[in-house]
């Protein structure tokens, strides 16, 4: 049996996953704390078999991304209370012969939003009904926001709304020119806008208002068409990288059983992401 002996192994698993900035971010964190660990990006297509393979190779922890968050919840041997309520996990840790799961997406989302706005009593809209949307809905409700779910698939959207006692509206309604409902906070939780995917318009530009806070969970590219439209309307925008960093900090704290300091660790994570995205922007501008 082959297993790592000089470094601990961690990875982000999903499909697609080539775009992920988690390896850049997490390896910067490990270096800043002198932790002997390596973090990889691995495409996973058959999650039940893939988790067994990763366990045999000695992986200590996994970040779980699209489209596996809900399946990973069902496959985990144990999950914490938060993940059980959400019904999805974005983090796995190997303990003995078991995969243990938790969810840090809700922590990352709420911390990123709290940096620019209060959430208690606010009218919040979540676009999407997958694993990320479940986590964001949980976090927003926990913070005291009034949450509405919008999704193309009505059945799936209604199921999520029922789970968290939220309102539901079909996504198509948001494109109506006279949609008269105001939202203070809007969070985009689908894969639309992700680098390498087919461009799709979720809502018309007229949906956005200057008073809105609009957050994107996609972080590559840094400014998706969704965020660009919100920015043009004068809304306050929150990049997907903010949620990425803070959910990653929570993952590290769980895996390593220690607090993660702002300096040098969190600063190193942000700098590593900024460096990659700046190079991409400069290349596009040339």
Alpha-carbon gap, residue 79 to 88, rounded angstroms = 9
For residue 151, the cross-strand partners are: 170
> What 8-state DSSP symbol labels residue 262?
I
Cα 271 to Cα 21, 29, 45, 236, 281: the distances in Å are 12, 10, 31, 22, 15
**Tokens linked to 10:** 């961690």
> Does a cis peptide bond (omega within 30 degrees of 0) precede residue 117?
no
Active site residue 141: no
- Catalytic residue from among 3, 69, 231, 279: 69
Q: How many residues belong to the chain?
A: 286
Residue 227: which of 217, 216, 219 has the closest Cα? 216
Residue 9: which of 74, 53, 69, 47 has the closest Cα? 53
Alpha-carbon gap, residue 23 to 17, rounded angstroms = 11
β-pair type (59-64, 91-95): antiparallel
> What 8-state DSSP symbol labels residue 2?
-
Cα 135 to Cα 57, 83, 90, 121, 182: the distances in Å are 29, 8, 9, 19, 23
**Tokens linked to 98:** 């078991």
Instruction: Give the three-state DSSP class for 29.
Output: helix
Q: Which residues are known to be catalytic?
A: 69
């Amino acid at each position: 049996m082959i297993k790592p002996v000089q470094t601990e192994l961690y990875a982000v698993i999903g499909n697609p996953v080539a775009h992920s900035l988690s390896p850049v971010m997490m390896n910067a964190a490990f270096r800043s704390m002198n932790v002997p660990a390596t973090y990889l990006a691995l495409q996973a297509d058959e999650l039940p078999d893939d988790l067994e393979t990763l366990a045999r190779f000695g992986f200590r922890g996994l970040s779980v991304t699209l489209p596996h968050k809900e399946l990973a919840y069902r496959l985990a041997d144990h999950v914490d209370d938060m993940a059980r309520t959400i019904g999805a996990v974005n983090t796995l840790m190997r303990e003995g012969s078991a995969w243990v799961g938790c969810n840090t997406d809700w922590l990352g989302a709420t911390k990123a939003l709290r940096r620019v706005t209060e959430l208690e009593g606010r009218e919040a809209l979540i676009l999407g009904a997958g694993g990320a949307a479940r986590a964001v809905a949980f976090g927003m409700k926990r913070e005291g926001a009034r949450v509405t779910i919008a999704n193309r698939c009505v059945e799936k959207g209604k199921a999520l709304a029922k789970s968290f006692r939220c309102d539901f509206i079909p996504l198509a309604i948001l494109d109506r020119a006279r949609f008269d409902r105001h939202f203070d906070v809007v969070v985009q939780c689908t894969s639309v806008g992700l680098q390498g995917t087919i461009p799709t318009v979720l809502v018309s530009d007229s949906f956005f208002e200057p008073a809105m806070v609009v957050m994107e969970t996609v972080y590559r590219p840094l400014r998706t068409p969704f965020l660009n439209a919100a920015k043009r309307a004068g809304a306050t925008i929150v990049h997907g990288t903010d949620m990425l960093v803070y959910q990653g900090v929570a993952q590290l704290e769980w895996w390593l059983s220690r607090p993660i300091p702002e300096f040098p660790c969190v600063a190193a994570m942000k700098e590593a992401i900024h460096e990659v995205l700046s190079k991409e922007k400069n290349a596009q501008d040339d």
